[in-house]
Amino acid sequence: MNEFLLSARNLKKSYALGKRTLEVLRGVSVDVARGDFLALRGSSGAGKSTLLHLMGGLDTPNAGEILFSGKDLTKFSERKLTAFRNRSVGFVFQAYHLLPELTALENVCLPGRVARLASGEVEKHARHLLDRVGLGQRLDHKPYELSGGEQQRVAIARALINEPILLLADEPTGNLDSHTGTEIMDLLKTIRDERQMTLVIATHDSKVAASAPRVIELVDGLVA
């Protein structure tokens, strides 16, 4: 068995902008061990979010390979990638991405519904997760009724609903004040320890990155 949960090899990613090409990743290689806590640090445009999205199958590279438990994600069909994202990876984003018309409970349940898990078990698990992130009394509140920190807690609970192997967090404190951001990072670290999960965060904040035992710096699409 591959000792790494995830291995990225010589990843290249570029985007066409009119007549010019923007090179975001220019040959990045990263290994992530099972149970690792890794921070991808870099300024805006360094390529950290792009790398995170490639790791989670949200995007595909122009070149290179991404091995997850020894299987190359770049060879997956779109259908297989969708199933991979739903069942193996939990995503936490800077902008939360909660559906405004759904309650906190309904937002957390959503990935479980997509996976066609038993509805009663999904709701029971969602209630437990919301209680675990400190929102047991806010189940029926919609996103606009919640603070930024509370919305991010809902997003974390949603990311955990299908018991993912890998948790990816893209600027999870970017829209929060420093105190709330520290609370969110403490919560992510605690949950990661409890569940023995693999956690990768992308951040421009050196203080947030310092909370991880391992930090990789990206500069202009390369590992510094």
Domain boundaries, the chain: 36-53+77-215
- Residue position matching structure tokens 């047991």: 136
pTM, 2 dp: 0.93
Q: Which three-class secondary structure state does DSSP give residue 33? A: strand
**Alpha helix segments (H runs only) across 61-219:** 78-88, 104-114, 119-132, 148-160, 178-195, 206-209
Output phi, psi for 103, to 5 deg: -75, 170
Task: Please give the average per-residue pLDDT across 68-97, as a whole number.
Answer: 93
Say what the pLDDT of residue 224 is.
86
Q: Give the full edge-to-edge strand order of the sheet including 20-33.
A: 20-33, 4-17, 63-68, 71-72
DSSP string, 57-72: TSS--SEEEEEETTEE
Q: Report the alpha-carbon distance of residue 64 to residue 60 in Å, rounded.
A: 10
pLDDT tens, residue by residue, 13-70: 999 888 899 899 999 999 999 999 999 999 888 999 999 999 999 999 999 999 999 9
- What is the average per-residue pLDDT within 134-153? 96
Fold of the CATH domain 36-53+77-215: Rossmann fold (3.40.50)
The answer to whether 134 and 146 are in contact (CB under 8 A) is: no
Could you tell me the CA-to-CA distances from 152 to 78, 107, 170, 173, 190 in Å, in that order?
A: 28, 12, 12, 9, 15
- Tens of pLDDT along 189-209? 999 999 999 999 999 999 999
Question: Are 184 and 149 within 8 A, CB to CB?
Answer: yes
pLDDT at 186 over 60: yes
Average pLDDT, the chain: 94
